[in-house]
Structure 1
């Protein structure tokens, strides 16, 4: 068993998750990282020069057949390689379907909840014995959409709201584990590009233009900025933060930004 902490990071192949990964790998004393993503080509390239990185290809959607096995497999792989788990960063998720309630397809909603919510429950459940041993940490990437409705975002926002309650439940039931849910802001990722380019047929112009204007005015959050915050929380979270849902730029998180 290694003395180096072990972090499990999901959604590590792009966007915020990849920014978290690069931040952790760049630390003076980086942790061991099991990085899960559907596409791991870029992760495998990084792993050639970072022996502390273990890429794992995972698809959390129901069609993959992994919904009842992915959590157990990921946790088992980390334990077998490094003998411990200190942190989970639950960053994976999907925005789709972007559709009004009148057009809701329940099978599509079920897929969204499987990917965004139930897979995280599965990972947490399987990691609990190791997280208890390490007085570990869980960092959940939530969304500002839980308190601000946008047309067509019902499935996404509801699943993220469920994650917030999961965070509170985990903090309440497991006092030895620190857990936090973070709204990362409007981040310059592929999801934002899709909102600007692809969803004008569902979202009213005034809603879609918000995202367009933030990008054009340079007010959009850089993945590296929020990625550093999330990575730092995974390694050094103050237990007093446990159970909270905070925006990434909240004053209570100042100590975790820009480190």
Structure 2
């Protein structure tokens, strides 16, 4: 008898995370999903009602201090998933924040610390808490990274550095945990609230040509649709091949054609 896999999805309330969730729920044989979000959005509340048999939602603030977050990860994520479904097969680590958008010389180091807690250290916490289950079931970890991890933009120092650290975590996990498939994905410029903020708020920090890039992608219709990248990330959570482990890939690379 086939076993329904259990997926923990973070940042599930909007944007890419919501698109991943919608894709997984629409599959002919959807997995059981623990959707983690800071704010229970109307879209997520609606899905939790219509898919109550295989969707559970919890609220966690991943910017919380380590001692507090460790307790929340165990009690609100790991324990909830295990008490309801008895196993954990996949992590999709999608939550994150762009702020502070400020030049290094102008930024508040405390804001950098919050970004590293949110974008990097919280992911270490979730992986550590779930690693026993992932080993047992030969599970998968999908990390949502960014092109900013390998290319700098003015004012994006905290965000880019935290995503670069996430890429290194992906490589290290692949090396240390051979029974777990882990992959970091660059989703491209996706039509989300983050891109709206870049176009409408943060242009004053970025160089004019950097800001123009994001304006032109939206204007030309070349911006990535959340549902397109969401499908790839969702499919990777369920069937990422061992040969992908440790790699940092663009969501539309040829090697991922089978996941689109």
TM range (shorter): over 0.9
Q: Is the 8 A contact 2:98 2:194 kept in 1?
A: yes
Moved more, 40-49 or 72-81: 40-49
CA-atom RMSD in angstroms = 1.3
CA offsets, 1:72-106, max 9 Å, x none?
A: 22111101110000000000000000000101211
- Once residues 65 and 214 of structure 1 are traced to their aligned partners in structure 2, the CA distance between those partners, rounded to angstroms, is 41
Tell me the distance in 2 between the aligned counterparts of 1:64 and 1:189. Answer: 28
How many residues matched? 256
Given candidates 147, 156, 173, the residue that maps to 1:170 is 173
* 1:53 aligned residue: 55
Gaps of 5+ in 1: none
| Structure 2 residue 193 is matched with structure 1 residue 182 | no
Please state whether the residue corresponding to 1:56 is helix, strand or coil. Answer: strand
Matched, 1:37 2:37: yes
- 1:5·1:31 contact (CA, 8 Å) conserved in 2? yes
Tell me which moved more, 22-31 or 62-71: 62-71
Which of these residues, 99, 121, 124, is aligned with residue 96 of structure 1? 99
Retained in 1: the 8 A contact 2:9–2:93? yes
Determine helix, strand or coil for the equivalent of 2:122: helix
Post-superposition offset of 1:234: 0.3
| Structure 2 SS opposite 1:103 | coil
Q: What is the 5 A alignment of 1:125-204? A: 125-204=128-207
TM-score normalised by structure 1 residue count: 0.96
SS in structure 2 opposite 1:170?
helix
- Deviations along 1:31-70, one digit per CA (max 9) or x if unpaired, are 0000000111432221111120001011111369742323
TM-score normalised by the chain length of structure 2: 0.96
Distance in 1 (CA, whole Å) between partners of 2:81 and 2:152 is 37
Q: Which residue of 2 aligns with 1:5?
A: 5
Q: Which runs of 5+ in 2 are unaligned?
A: none
1:167-206 Cα deviation digits (max 9, x unpaired): 0010000000000000000000000000000012211111
> 1:114-140, CA deviations, whole angstroms, 9 ceiling, x for partnerless residues?
000000000000001100111000000
Contact 1:60 1:70 in 2 (8 A): no
Residue 206 of structure 1 corresponds to: 209
Runs of 4+ displaced beyond 6 Å: none
User: C-alpha distance in 2, partners of 1:112/1:63?
Assistant: 12
> Is contact 2:65-2:117 (8 Å) kept?
no
